[in-house]
Amino acid sequence: MDIFEGRITSCGFSSGDRIVVGTWRNTPFGSFSDIMWAKPDGSKVLIAPNEKIANYISSLYDFDIIKIEDLKIEHSGSMMKVQTKDLNCHFEWSKGVSFLIKKRPLWFVASIEYFFGWLIFGTKTYGKTKNGRREWYAVDRLSKLTLAKAEFKKKNLGEYTKFHP
């Protein structure tokens, strides 16, 4: 089982764009960041730092476009800026709440957390990838986005809206 530890930040914009940024501090590939971006026309874009990571991620999920680009990430407290060749994002979030029990059995993540994750956030904590691998997203902290901005080629993607997977 491959274990990735890090943060997932996701949001939608009034343009219809949906952006998910993964900032991973501990993975089988070392630390890295990636962007999964669903455009309003339905096309899905992966921006990854190198071909090895792009191949791994695209073996799990479908993408129409795969870009290998440097991702510059700036963290400061509850703020993160993400910069690629053409895409710039700025996120801020609340202090959030931590789960008291950090290690939970996978059956709990796949059932109890799945139910509440779907009910509250419209997200899944368990599923199967396109190549049939089972995956779990064990959440250890929840933080609400308080600000999200994104520009593609200096064009604003609009207001931050509720994320609709």
Q: What is the mean pLDDT of residues 47-71?
A: 97
**Within this chain, do residues 18 and 43 fall inside the same structural domain, yes or no?**
yes
* 87 and 106 housed in the same domain: no
Structural domain of 135 = 98-140
Domain match, 11 and 72 both: yes
Q: Taking all residues of the chain, what is their mean pLDDT, rounded to a whole number?
A: 88
Res 100: pLDDT: 67
Residues 62 and 22 occupy one common structural domain = yes
Pair (128, 152) in one structural domain: no
Rounded Cα–Cα distance for residues 126 and 48 (Å): 23
Identify whether residues 25 and 76 lie together within a single domain: yes
Which 3 state secondary structure label does DSSP give 120? helix
35 lies in the same domain as 70: yes
Residues 113 and 151 in one domain: no
Tokens of 137: 């997203």
Residues 11 and 85 in one domain: yes
Distances (CA, A) of 49 to 3, 61, 75, 141: 19, 17, 18, 26
Burial class (CB in 10 A: 0-12, 13-18, 19+), 75: exposed
Domain check: are 161 and 84 in the same one?
yes
Q: What is the pLDDT of residue 30?
A: 95
11 and 61 assigned to the same domain: yes
**Residues 165 and 102 reside in one and the same domain:** no
User: What's the number of domains the chain is made of?
Assistant: 2
pLDDT by residue (tens digit) across 78-137? 999 999 999 999 999 988 777 667 788 888 888 888 887 777 777 777 788 888 888 877
pLDDT for position 162: 72
Of 3-12, 41-50, 139-148, minimum mean pLDDT range: 139-148
- Read off the amino acid at residue 113: E
From CA 32, how far away is CA 23, in angstroms rounded?
6
Measured CA to CA, the distance from residue 55 to residue 66 in angstroms comes to: 9
